[in-house]
Structure 1
Amino acid sequence: MYRAKVYVTYKDSILDPQAEAIKTALHQLEFPELTQLTCGKYFELELATTEAKAATTVEQMCQKLLANVNMESYRYEIVAAE
């Protein structure tokens, strides 16, 4: 059994309106040292398979559903489930 941790964020060339709104609010709350903020999605998946198959499966899941590959980038970690 393996656990996959998937992180999805907008690509650098895409404007992230949610992150910009949060950044503006934090500046208004007197956190001027904040220079960059990124929002994203986080998924945690448990897979009943081998480690090699888990990586292939997660890659396909990201490509087909979890990330909009035109606008978002993703990365993931595969670890043995405890």
Structure 2
Amino acid sequence: MFLAKIHVLLKPTVNDPQGLTIARALGRLGFDAVDAVRAGKYFEVQIQRSDEATAEQDVKAMCEKLLSNPVIETFTYELESGLVKLPLGS
């Protein structure tokens, strides 16, 4: 069993209005050292596969087909192996 931790972000060339809004709000709250913020999505996906290569293929396909928009977003992921149980209903 594997746990995929997936990060999806807008490409650097794509405007990020949510990130800009967060950066401005942080500045107003006194966090003057914040230079920029990029907002994104984070997913944890539990996969029941016997080998890492197949699990990795699954994760890549999930990201390319559903979890990210390849035109405007990039994704990265890491796989953890072992007995990992996400809460039911996840």
Question: For this structure pair, what is the TM-score category when the shorter chain's length is used for normalisation?
Answer: over 0.9
Q: Are 2:26 and 1:44 equivalent residues in the alignment?
A: no
Q: TM-score, normalised by structure 1?
A: 0.95
Q: TM-score, normalised by structure 2?
A: 0.87
Contiguous gaps of at least 5 residues in structure 2:
84-90
Q: Which residue of 2 aligns with 1:63?
A: 64
Q: Distance in 1 between matches of 2:21 and 2:82?
A: 36
Contiguous gaps of at least 5 residues in structure 1:
none
Q: Which residue of 2 aligns with 1:54?
A: 55
Q: Which residue of 1 aligns with 2:76?
A: 75
Q: Which runs of 4+ in 1 moved over 2 A?
A: none
Aligned residues with identical type, % of pairs = 38
Q: Distance in 2 between matches of 1:11 and 1:43?
A: 18
Task: Kindly report the root-mean-square deviation, in angstroms, between the aligned alpha carbons of the 2 structures.
Answer: 0.8
Once the two structures are TM-superposed, the CA of residue 27 in structure 1 deviates from its matched residue by 0.8
Q: Say how many residue pairs are matched.
A: 82
